[in-house]
Chains A and B, each alone.
Chain A
């Protein structure tokens, strides 16, 4: 029996259309929109103004705190505006808009091999990662340097690398593991140097046996045999940190806690790869790999795209079919639907999914079938949450562990009454955060 966690679902994978397609480098658009908020935490502060000339990799947004990320120019060119634009989350947020000059010139030594990697201390590597502005690229976009600096009282003994890619449709992590297995292993060594962990585990789902083989081969070439590659049962949401740790290590992260509470740090394969690039090639985050797919495009692909590329350009390239109804950034289970194609690619854009059909928005009363309870990976009672939240009883929902929900969408997926449970949960959580803020202000 392949390792896994309890609960979860196995939706149609829909990965066939892109899993065999190698990456294509997407041309630099004539306009790059660099949002100052591409991560969880405080938005970066723009430090350039209109008409400034910038080079690729140049700092254009400064991180004002620890839980924040620096933003860099994705190519060389001229700043044409610093203004609020539509963010993938719906609101308008500050962005630096760059008109490329076509030269794509790196700033000074950036992009060149660093050399003397072995001599770098843990603190130096951490500083490089922080300055490169790397945020978790699986979609959550938590600043990587924060994850890599656990408080002194937490002893971290294990590193888990997330190569699960459990969201249907997406294949960019899969392709990345095939193309850059050795680089990913080098990246894990850098993280190991910072955290001082003894064991490294890499989790990959059973539908990517080729990636599993590549990484196992790369791991076996290493002198020390402390990297374990696991082929896991195909099940959503195995890529969620707590579920991945359960599947690979059979350890339970305490409710309301973080993986570091049980001595584990999890990083996505693509984050690991970009940590490698930042340290070995002095590259800040200027690009990322993503999948454009869905039944709404004629030419689904895996692409390497500059950050800030408007998704309208990518949709044009992938030949958006007329009559497509939904454009989603991320996967179909947790991705965010967009009303406009003006939004740019950010550090967290793992995919662009175009769907031709939209599910019926009407929903019924809960018939207490229990499917959501059977499948909830967090062992909640989603039916109860949705009923109490529908009635506006946020206080009661909080008692029913509302804040432990990770919004994976499993409950809504299996619901025969088509109840928008995740929607209720998101609203309820926002309300609680508001109340807490108000309490804190007093």
Chain B
């Protein structure tokens, strides 16, 4: 009977729109996986740079999480410290600065990354720039000296190649760039004859000398026994973490691949200016060297590995389609090499990723997939 039936409804069942099953994947899982995959590179950083590196990492993560908590409280939204995104930002920021640093630089940069680069734009998913890199750019603009000139000297570490670490503490990228510049000024100076250890009889020879002296420690670059930013030194560990992320499906292989391939190709192809001096004739000059760069050096040195696998691949600030990601990756590679070879800084990964982040909405607009059965 109808009356009976309506009174029999004791319990109402849950109603939602379909689908009623979901894949077992979540934002916290993604973020913590990225965090774990970053750890081996940090461990090498701490081994090479000592306990101070560990402090930088801890201060950076703590500042990022405090900033996240404060901002979310102020905005009146759910506090999501456990989703790991602030921890990843803090860790990434620590990785791309020098381990020899003032605590307040670390705090300021990490805080900027979360508060300004992320929450001012609306929190996770809404930011335009990679927060950690925005933090680094902020620190670089605000604390120029400590960010570019002071690198830890870790003489107590044995390098893989057996060559001593540069006592100046300068990074391999800086050494390469400054040596090339120096060769020009030396060749044109009156005392060129004194510097035959640096200058060759032709541009080609000088370039070979420079590369041999400064840039061929591939094994060191790979293992991480060099001076450089805290977590960027060990290409091997970053590659390991990156490959795990690719296998987990968190990172698509084609993005890091296009970045590394473009960087390697252009670093090899694009011309470098070097000076030369011929002691027999006393002649000197400057040569433009095409197709002679060291591609492997460029992808192993500096922030290239970290940038390609962990910074550019930040889901929020990279294009959403495969086509878009390839364009994005090529753009990063081009800008990185141009900044490295001709720009005002020895390293260009940070700025090239930030610049390409800015172009993401544009890339997305022009790389939209064609609707199934659509004409254009």
- Tell me the A residues contacting B by CB distance below 8 Å: 9, 11-12, 81, 83, 90, 97, 168, 242, 246, 252-257, 324-328, 330, 332-342, 353, 355, 358-359, 361, 364-371, 373-374, 376-381, 383, 401, 404, 407, 409, 412-418, 420, 422-423, 426
The smallest C-beta distance from B124 to any residue of chain A, in angstroms, reads: 6
Residues of B within 8 A of A404 (CB): 371-372, 374
Judging by beta carbons under 8 Å apart, are A252 and B30 in contact? no
If A333-B19, A377-B372, A422-B17 touch, whether A367 touches B316 (CB-CB below 8 Å) is: yes
Tell yes or no: B15 within 8 A of A by CB: yes
Determine if B22 and A383 form an interchain contact, defined as CB atoms under 8 angstroms apart: no
Question: In the complex, A334 Cα to B18 Cα: how many Å?
Answer: 5
Q: Is the CB of A337 within 8 A of B29?
A: no
Interface centre among A325, A369, A374, A420 (most CB of B within 10 A): A369
| Residue B16 CB within 8 A of the other chain | yes
Task: Please tell me which one of the listed residues B16, B122, B375 contacts residue A361 in the complex, with CB atoms under 8 A apart.
Answer: B16
Does B76 sit within 8 A of A, measured CB to CB?
A: no
Known: A332-B21, A368-B315, A370-B321. A337 touches B371 (CB 8 A): no
Task: List chain A residues, Cβ under 8 A from B5.
Answer: 342
Q: Is the CB of A334 within 8 A of B19?
A: yes
Evaluate contact between B9 and A416: CB separation under 8 angstroms. Answer: no
- Contact with B21, one of A252, A333, A369, A380 (Cβ below 8 angstroms): A333
B19 adjacent to A252 (CB under 8 Å): no
Asked if B123 is at the interface (CB within 8 A of a chain A CB), the reply is yes
Distance from B93 Cβ to chain A, minimum over Cβ atoms (Å): 19
Tell me the bound Cα distance from A251 to B322 in angstroms.
Answer: 24
Q: B19 touching A339 by the CB < 8 A rule? A: no
Determine which residue in A11, A256, A325, A370 has the highest number of CB atoms from chain B within 10 A of its CB, and name it: A370
Contact A255 B372 (CB under 8 A): yes
Once bound together, how far apart are the Cα atoms of A335 and B315, in whole Å?
31
Q: Which of B17, B125, B252, B318 contacts A365 (CB 8 A)?
A: B125
Whether B16 lies near A369 (C-beta < 8 A) is no
The 24 sampled A-B contact pairs (Cβ below 8 Å) are A253-B372, A255-B375, A332-B18, A333-B21, A334-B19, A342-B5, A359-B22, A365-B125, A367-B125, A368-B125, A368-B320, A369-B30, A369-B315, A371-B25, A373-B321, A376-B369, A377-B372, A379-B370, A379-B371, A379-B374, A381-B320, A404-B372, A412-B18, A422-B19
Could you tell me the distance in whole angstroms from the C-beta of B296 to the nearest C-beta in chain A? Answer: 31
Chain A nearest Cβ from B18, distance in angstroms: 5
CB-CB under 8 A from B15, the residues of chain A are 90, 337-339
Q: For the complex, is B26 an interface residue (Cβ under 8 Å from A)? A: yes
Q: CB distance B372 to A412 under 8 Å?
A: no
Q: What number of residue pairs across chains A and B have CB atoms under 8 A from each other?
A: 162
Contact A373 B369, beta carbon cutoff 8 Å = yes
Contact B20 A326 (CB under 8 A): yes
Chain A residues, Cβ within 8 Å of B280: none
Residues on the A chain within 8 Å of B156, using CB: none
Q: Is the CB of B126 within 8 A of A325?
A: no
Interface centre among A333, A368, A407, by most B CB within 10 Å?
Answer: A368
A257 with B17: CB separation less than 8 A:
no
CB distance from B85 to the nearest CB of A (A): 9
Q: Once the chains are docked, how many angstroms separate the CA of A324 from the CA of B21? A: 15
B21 and A340 form a contact (CB under 8 A): no
CB within 8 A of A423: which of B9, B16, B369? B16
| Bound-complex Cα distance A409 to B19 (A) | 5
Pick the residue among A367, A412, A418 that contacts B124 (CB under 8 A).
Answer: A367
Q: List A contacts of B316 (CB < 8 A).
A: 367-368
Mark B1-33 against chain A: 1 for CB-CB distance below 8 A, else 0: 010010001001111111111110111011000
Residues of B within 8 A of A415 (CB): 22
Contact of A252 among B20, B124, B373 (CB under 8 A): B373
Q: Which of B21, B26, B122, B370 contacts A416 (CB 8 A)?
A: B26
Q: Which residues of A contact B373 (CB under 8 A)?
A: 242, 252-257
Shortest CB-to-CB span from B69 to chain A, Å, is 17
Q: Which residues of the partner chain B approach A324 to less than 8 Å between Cβ atoms? A: 13
B194 proximal to A (CB < 8 A): no
What 1/0 mask marks residues of chain B from 353 to 373 whose CB sits below 8 Å from any chain A CB? 000000000000000111111
- Give the chain A neighbours of B16 by CB distance below 8 A: 326, 337, 358-359, 361, 420, 423
Q: Report the Cα distance A25→B30, complex, angstroms.
A: 48
A31 to chain B, nearest CB (A): 9
Contacts of B17 in A (CB 8 A): 337, 420, 422-423, 426
Least distance between A414 CB and chain B CB atoms (Å):
5
- Asked whether, in the complex, the Cβ of A11 is within 8 Å of the Cβ of B23, the reply is yes
